[in-house]
Amino acid sequence: MWQYKVLVTGFFHADGGAMFGAIPKKAWSRKYPADEENCCILAMNCLLVWNEEKIILLDTGVGTKGFEKLSYYRFYDTRDIAGLVRESGFEPEQVTDVILSHLHFDHCGGCTYFDKAGNLKVTFPNAKHWVGQRQWDNYLHPNGLEKDSFRPADMWPVAEAGLLQLAEFNYFELAEGFQLFLYKGHTTGQLVTVFDSDEGNCIFAGDVIPTKAHLSDDWISAYDTHPLNSLAAKIRLKKKMRENRARLFFYHDTYCQSMKYPSK
Ligand SMILES: [Zn+2]
């Protein structure tokens, strides 16, 4: 059985209209609050999962670098993921695997950091970093809509250190009771993680379903590059949640970190 802990790595502001696409504000604002500038506060809720053999991190937050180019998002209360791992009783060097749902800066920024001498370093130097092959292709050759979401400094040092593990499978058992699945949707080649804990099955879905408000099939963010893929991915994920009676984790939800199925 696996143990887990949510590591909240910080918050930022995102336009509510962009977050909920074609859904009218009258409807979405009942399920997710917005401020006077129509901005929603989004969290970056990473997950630390471990057993006797492996210490695994699911996504790494925005990290500690490059905020000058991200001022639009007004990040606040950001935490160094290595520090949060230490507070949880582990050293960053002990982390065996980092699973990146996808490579947008708010999910993989914590993979690298600048040390005091100004050198760019890998945060988890002994970890295999799992990335969907198609997501990696997208990172190397981004489309026009996603190019600003990918930052070379987040993943190049990981690749250069030989720590990248590209996933081409649709399903992979990383360890007993711990599986990875490929999903389309918000972006191509996303990794969804499913694992067994003492209290049942758990699903970490990255941005396939980013907040509890996005559980409705057609509540799809305008950031999603292929909305029909998003729709199909959500239906597939909710089926898995139902079948497994799983707990689903919401990476971006400031108000609800996870929900066990079924729930009102
Ligand atoms: Zn995101």
- The 10s digit of each residue's pLDDT in 106-129 is 999 999 999 999 999 999 999 999
Cα 137 to chain center, whole Å? 18
Distance 54 CA to ligand 1 centre (A): 25
Distance 254 CA to ligand 1 centre (A): 13
Hey, what amino acid is at 160? E
Q: What is the pTM of this model?
A: 0.95
Distance 107 CA to ligand 1 centre (A): 6
Distance CA(210)–CA(19), nearest Å, equals: 9
Going from the C-alpha of 221 to that of each of 20, 78, 159, 192, the distances in angstroms are 5, 23, 30, 18
**Residue 97 pLDDT > 80:** yes
Distance 256 CA to ligand 1 centre (A): 15
Given this model, what pLDDT does residue 263 score?
A: 56
Going by the DSSP 8-state scheme, the letter that residue 187 receives in this structure is S
Distance 43 CA to ligand 1 centre (A): 9
- 15 token code pair: 């336009």
Distance 242 CA to ligand 1 centre (A): 24
Dump pLDDT digits (tens) for 17-60. 999 999 999 999 999 999 999 999 999 999 999 999 999 999 99
Q: What count of Cα atoms within 13 Å lies in the side-chain half-sphere of residue 212? A: 18
Q: Give the closest residue to 58 by CA, choosing from 252, 206, 255.
A: 206
Distance 117 CA to ligand 1 centre (A): 30
Distance 79 CA to ligand 1 centre (A): 16
Residues sharing a CB contact under 8 Å with residue 37, sequence separation 6 or more, in sequence order: 13
Distance 44 CA to ligand 1 centre (A): 8
Dump pLDDT digits (tens) for 141-192. 999 888 999 999 999 999 999 999 999 988 899 999 999 999 988 888 999 9
- 96 token code pair: 């065996």
Distance CA(29)–CA(12), nearest Å, equals: 17
Q: Which residue has the tokens 């606040």?
A: 76
Distance 127 CA to ligand 1 centre (A): 22
Distance 52 CA to ligand 1 centre (A): 30
